[in-house]
Amino acid sequence: MVSWARSPVPFRIPTTCGQQRSLPWIRSARFDNPSTGAGAAVRVFLEVVAFRSLFRNTRADLKPGGRIVYGSDKLLWAGALAFHASLLAILLRHARFLFEPVPAFVSAIQSVDGFLSVGVPGLYASDVVFVAAASYLLGRRLLDPRLRYLSLPADFLPLFLLLGIAASGLLLRHGVRSDLVSLKAFVLSLLEFRPRIPAAVAPLVALHLLLVSSLAALLPFSKLMHLAAPFLSPTRNLPNDSRARRHVNPWNPEVKVHTYAEWEDDFRDKLKAAGLPLEKESP
Amino acid sequence: MTSKSPDELSRVRYEPPPQDWLDPSVDFTARKGSWSYPGSAKSLTALGLPNPRAWSPADADWKLPENWEEIIREGFRERLGKYRSLRLFLDTCVRCGACADKCHFYIGSGDPKNMPVLRAELVRSVYRYEFTLAGRLLGALAGARPLTVDVLKEWYYYFYQCTECRRCSVFCPHGIDTAELTMLVRELLNLVGLNVNWVTEPAANCDRFGNHLGIPPHTFKENVDFLCDELQEATGVRVHPSFARKGAEFLFIVPSADYFAEPGIYTFMGYLLLFEQIGLDYTLSPYASEGGNFGLFSSHDLMKRLNAKMYAEAERLGVRSLIGGECGHMWRVINQYMGTMNGPADFLEVPVSPVTRTRFDAAASTKMVHICEFTADLLHHDKLKLDPSRNDARRVTFHDSCNPARAMGLLEEPRAVLRAACRNVFEMPENTIREQTFCCGSGAGLGNDENMEMRLRGGLPRASAVKFVRERHGVNTLACICAIDRAALSSLMEYWVPGVDVAGVHELLGNALVMAGEKPRTTDLRGRPLAPEGGGVDA
């Protein structure tokens, strides 16, 4: 990620998705075609929290006779957003295993998330949403022939891992009861680098932790690093202002240009005959 | 054109083929009609580009330099360090597939490697193998494959089958821009002499003559003089452009097609009428006689080289600022590259309209204003007298050109001009205009005849939208602000939607513009009779 952030951005290449700022009486698209750094920051923010580009998603269908029909296709947007938001909620909830005492915001998330009040212990909404969204994302990769064709094993692996983690986690909460107090003591001791191995670990707990560690180990090598993209992409994080303010390329190379003088030498007779002005009458 | 009928061409199969996409083989002989002839040795030599030779993509042996692998690998490594975009766009794709059916070439061909995500995977797979540990160890399992001659051939096929239109990047949740990848892969291909003649020859012409079409200075003047005569015949007014006149207020630069062939010349006639009517102090230059920049389709260095002439000539002539004509990729270069590459243009002043005194602050650094911005400002201040009824025979729709739309955001200015000049203007469906506009299918150096089948396929989404407004509103004119569009859309309409003309926005303005001392107009700038009075307007 550091190497991305460090590498130069030689040109200002935002993808403009709306009216530019040009004349005062034409309303410009402040966020989709930002002319200021603040506008670009809002654009990135909307991209990160609301997946704004994905929200535009359409579906093109070619009908007989070459007619193409475009339908709105927000399911991918909804699925992706639900997937990421519920994952975030679940991660934050798990912070209760990492801190003693449990921070207030974690308890707050926990109580909001448990609003369904179904079952004992209460079923978390984020768990339901997560499993549904992840299954949808996996399902479209498997069922849509186009997506199946372009998907790599690396696209399936994290989804399988995440679903495995979710399944084992759900079982731990709602199925097999396990000793969470000693588990937390173990995790806290790990964080202090003085691990106190508990006498016995339930196999399901071990599986849950194993899957989580595998996912964590995959992080730096896989597409899971995509979270940095909207922040760093020069098509999104730069204002479209390079006509108003010069953007500097740190390695702007010298190039050989066919100069006016050379050009006039090439065409002097023709220029003269056509009555076009010359800098020099002869070479 | 092509022997296939529109009906046949529009039956597209979208089922993916049985073989895995990692298989790079492309049968160039069977796919004739969907690739371009290679750059001629002459044009490569003229530009000083590597490996000039005679060859054809249909040959088995492409006569690559002996150490081509090393050249590509080193070129790749160098660019990974120089462009964050390259590294980021190679690393961060999650293959969500949102871009898949956003590409006009995919919609029109059904070839899965025309899905932007797979087009990018063609180079990502090599990147993984050559530059990442996981790719090296896991190979195909990680979607990695080594660089081979067949991969290089596949790159040649698919990266000269992308028009750098950037539509996919509008929809990408990570802002990945296939145009950027295409530009950089073409740079790599150029290093070993794999180019397209429709790019290298115009670029070589532009370098030597000053314009892509290779029009020498005396012919440039003759062409413009001829158009002045035509204008006098149509309007009774003599216009007075000047050539390389020192001390003029503005240097005006247009794409060379505008003073070369139909229908661009009518757009040029519109500019000339406008400037005459407002008494603009401007000059044209035969040295900087090209607005477009085919360097953009070849390499950043070549782009800079060709673009440098604009500022050089402005400085030599001592003009105050620049106005640019209607052209698509020209404005991507001006908006996103010119100031960075060849600026700062401190010898120029911020463009100011001599009629309205409007200061074009959006161009405060590059000092170059788009003709549509300039004219829209005149119209907003009511400085032009128009008779839009002269365009009543025309039922018009507006095609947003890719680069002004997605690399600038010039959306309302041309519409303001168009609505003032015409009374019958209809928009195409919203998924096909503005930032979602569809490419003509012939940009980025692919507008040659041998590539016609792929151009027509790529143009299908645009044509389909035109057909929709033709059937619903009787549209007979497709207005645009791009020289490549004016040429390419004409063939596209002839094939897919016969009966639709292609016109520049300033051609239509020229029709409507009431000139001081003009004779009663009986024809438009094309010499066609005007619509009978009161006819052809919707209530």
What confidence tier does B539 reach under pLDDT thresholds 50, 70, 90?
Answer: very low
| Pairwise CA distance, residues A194 & A182, whole Å | 15
- % of chain B exceeding 90 in pLDDT: 96
Most B CBs within 10 Å: which of A13, A147, A268, as the mutation test of the B interface? A13
Tally of residues, chain B: 539
Query: In this complex, do B98 and A270 lie within 8 Å of one another by their Cβ atoms?
Result: no
Domain parsing of chain A, residue ranges: 2-232, 256-283
pLDDT of residue A53: 95
- The predicted model scores a pTM of 0.95
* pLDDT, tens digit (0-9, with 9 covering 90-100), for A25-39: 999 999 999 999 999
* pLDDT, tens digit (0-9, with 9 covering 90-100), for B44-82: 999 999 999 999 999 999 999 999 999 999 999 999 999
CA of residue A222 relative to chain centroid, distance: 13
| Pairwise CA distance, residues A76 & B95, whole Å | 12
* pLDDT, tens digit (0-9, with 9 covering 90-100), for B386-415: 999 999 999 999 999 999 999 999 999 999
Query: In this complex, do B217 and A66 lie within 8 Å of one another by their Cβ atoms?
Result: no
Q: CB within 8 A of B140, min separation 6: which ones? A: B20, B22
What confidence tier does B1 reach under pLDDT thresholds 50, 70, 90?
Answer: low
H or E element that contains A67: strand A67-72
Q: Which residues of A touch B82 (CB under 8 A)?
A: 7-8, 10, 251
| Pairwise CA distance, residues B317 & B251, whole Å | 8
pLDDT of residue B534: 55
Query: In this complex, do B336 and A54 lie within 8 Å of one another by their Cβ atoms?
Result: no
Low-confidence ranges of chain A (pLDDT < 50): none
One-letter amino acid of A98: L
pLDDT of residue A282: 86
The sign one gets for the Cα dihedral B250, B255, B260, B261 is: negative
Q: Which residues of B touch A3 (CB under 8 A)?
A: 87
Q: Which residues of A touch B411 (CB under 8 A)?
A: 18-20
For chain B, the maximum distance between any two Cα atoms, rounded to a whole number of angstroms, is: 78
Three-class SS of B77-128: HHHHHHCHHHHHHHHCCCCCCCCHHHCHHHHHHCCHHHCHHHHHHHHHHHHH
> Among all chains, which residue has been given the structure tokens 């700038």?
B525
Backbone angles phi, psi at A196, to 5 degrees: -110, 105
Token duo for residue B451: 């590539």
User: Nearest-CA residue of chain A relative to B302?
Assistant: A255
* pLDDT, tens digit (0-9, with 9 covering 90-100), for B432-485: 999 999 999 999 999 999 999 999 999 999 999 999 999 999 999 999 999 999
| Bridge-based pairing state of the strands B425-426 and B501-504 | unpaired
Q: Name the minimum distance, in Å, from the CA of B280 to any CA of chain A.
A: 20
- On average, the pLDDT of chain B sits at 96
Query: In this complex, do B243 and A277 lie within 8 Å of one another by their Cβ atoms?
Result: yes
Strand partners, B503: B479
pLDDT of residue B538: 52
**Nearest-CB residue to B362 (from A53, A60, A243):** A243
pLDDT of residue A180: 77
pLDDT tops 50 at residue B205:
yes
Query: In this complex, do B95 and A251 lie within 8 Å of one another by their Cβ atoms?
Result: no
| Nearest CA-CA partner of B197 in B19, B384, B369, B55 | B55
Q: CB within 8 A of A194, min separation 6: which ones? A: none
Please state the rounded mean pLDDT for residues B494-510: 97
- Residue B428 DSSP label: P
Please state the rounded mean pLDDT for residues B223-233: 97
| Bridge-based pairing state of the strands B477-480 and B250-253 | unpaired
**ipTM entry:** 0.94
Query: In this complex, do B308 and A32 lie within 8 Å of one another by their Cβ atoms?
Result: no
Is B468 in CB contact (< 8 Å) with chain A?
yes
pLDDT tops 60 at residue B224:
yes
* pLDDT, tens digit (0-9, with 9 covering 90-100), for B171-188: 999 999 999 999 999 999
Is B357 in CB contact (< 8 Å) with chain A?
no
**Nearest-CB residue to B429 (from A70, A144, A225):** A70
Q: Name the minimum distance, in Å, from the CA of A152 to any CA of chain B.
A: 6
One-letter amino acid of B485: D
What is the CATH number that goes with domain A2-232?
Answer: 1.20.950.20
Q: For B191-246, give the DSSP string.
A: HTT--BHHHHHHHHHHHHHSSTT---HHHHHHHHHHHHHHHHHHHS------BS-T
Phi-psi region of B380 (alpha: psi -120 to 50; beta: other; left: phi over 0): alpha
Q: Which residues of A touch B457 (CB under 8 A)?
A: none
